[in-house]
Amino acid sequence: MKRNKSICVMGLGYIGLPTAALLANRNYQVHGVDVVQSTVDTINQGNIHIVEPELDIFVRSAVNSGNLKADILPQESDVFIIAVPTPFHEGFVPNIDYVIAAAKSIAPYVKEENIIILESTSPVGTTDKVNEVLQECGVDVSKIYVSHCPERVLPGHIMRELVENDRIVGGITPEATEVTAEFYRTFVSGEVLKTDAKTAEMAKLTENSYRDVNIAFANEISMLCDKFEINAWELIKLANRHPRVNILQPGPGVGGHCIAVDPWFIVHKGGKDAKIIRAAREINNHKTEWSIDKIKKSALAFKNKNGRPAKVACMGLSFKPNIDDLRESPALYITRKLVEGGIDVMAVEPNIDSHSEFEIVSDEVAINEADIIAYLVAHKEFKGIRIFGKNVLDFCGVTNGN
């Protein structure tokens, strides 16, 4: 595929915008689409609305070159990439409404030989559904190529991993797989692995479920260690000296749009046969509630001893260290529930300037004024801080060198 092809990227969030900016810097003509006008305006000014290292440089270069333009409506292109959110409804039922809406919105612009790629992490069968929606909208799907290629990047390293990571491409047809794989090879230095659409969908869900299961083991160990009055991080460090043991680090739960969400897609489809995956999700969700209870008990003990309510510093709101992403964040959930429970909370998040629900204060202010310091995210800014005369609750190992 020649690099002067045009590309329409549906969704300009944490995956869509980096992908659009990368492709535009590879001399593709990229038309980015987002439903939020302020996002469109920000990008067209050469700026970004999310925090990701190097993304601002890529976007500014892409916009200044004229290769990247954002809009609220799609346009005719050679390649359409759908990178919209896939959350879930009540009861962890997968919600592919945004994917269906994106498919319907591009249908009038799809023409023969176009490549339609679903990058959104999706339940098994979603790519087939996109194909079906396009057909229902009057597209001759026998003359286009519909495929799934799940994103596999780590926030904080997206621009590098978009290029270096291996990619899995699964088409509705073998021809779609081949054509789509050829497209990815124009900008991916990692290996492009070919399969069918359902296997590609299941691969991404399996990868994140595997990680969720392993985190659940670490979180369960940490709760048992608390019960036995053992330092969980020291225990894990010692156990990991075994040549065939590699226990992950515990935390106050699991967040983000991937690991906290994707396993439910398997559970919903797999039902009673997804036993371990369901149990892991339940353990990791329980760890968040357990953490809330731990903080509340500490606050109550302080009040009983000192005759006044405790001030609690919630250190970190994002779902993982050193990013601004709050999606499915256990730290944000914990902070919110403490406030709802009447606890006097000071929120600290060095990666954002403000939040609609909480006043964001600096770590210096929080540590000076709070009575209880609850480390919820192991941000680099929190490491090495020495605290005296305060009750410190460390749910992420930041005081243990993690």
Token output for 349 = 């998040």
| 3-class state of residue 266 by DSSP | helix
How far apart (Å, rounded) are the C-alpha atoms in residues 201 and 193?
13
What are the residue ranges of helices labelled H in 307-361?
A: 330-340
Distance CA 132, CA 130 (A): 5
3-class secondary-structure state, position 361: coil
Please state, in angstroms and rounded to a whole number, the distance separating the CA atoms of residues 299 and 293: 10
User: Which of these is catalytic: 8, 149, 204, 320?
Assistant: 204
Report d(CA 94, CA 100) in Å as an integer: 13
How many CB atoms sit inside 10 A of residue 136's CB?
A: 12
Q: Which residues contact 44 (CB under 8 A, 6 or more apart)?
A: 63, 69, 70
Asked if residue 66 lies in contact with residue 114, where contact means CB atoms within 8 angstroms, the answer is no
212 C-beta neighbours (distance < 10 Å), count: 24
DSSP letters spanning 285-311:
HHHHHHHHHHHHHHHHHHHHHHSSPPE
Instruction: Give me the residue label for tokens 């270096």.
Output: 164
Say which amino acid occupies 315.
M
Among 37, 38, 40, 30, smallest CA distance to 9 is for 30
Closest by Cα among 109, 141, 122 to 33: 109
Residue 75 burial (CB count, 10 A) = 12
Task: Answer yes or no: 204 catalytic.
Answer: yes
Q: State the Cα–Cα distance between residues 25 and 68, nearest whole angstrom.
A: 9
Region for 168 from its dihedrals, namely left if φ exceeds 0, alpha if ψ lies in -120 to 50, beta otherwise:
beta
Helix/strand/coil for 10: strand
CB 146 within 8 A of CB 103: no
Out of 8, 149, 258, 314, pick the active-site residue: 258
Catalytically active residues are 204, 258
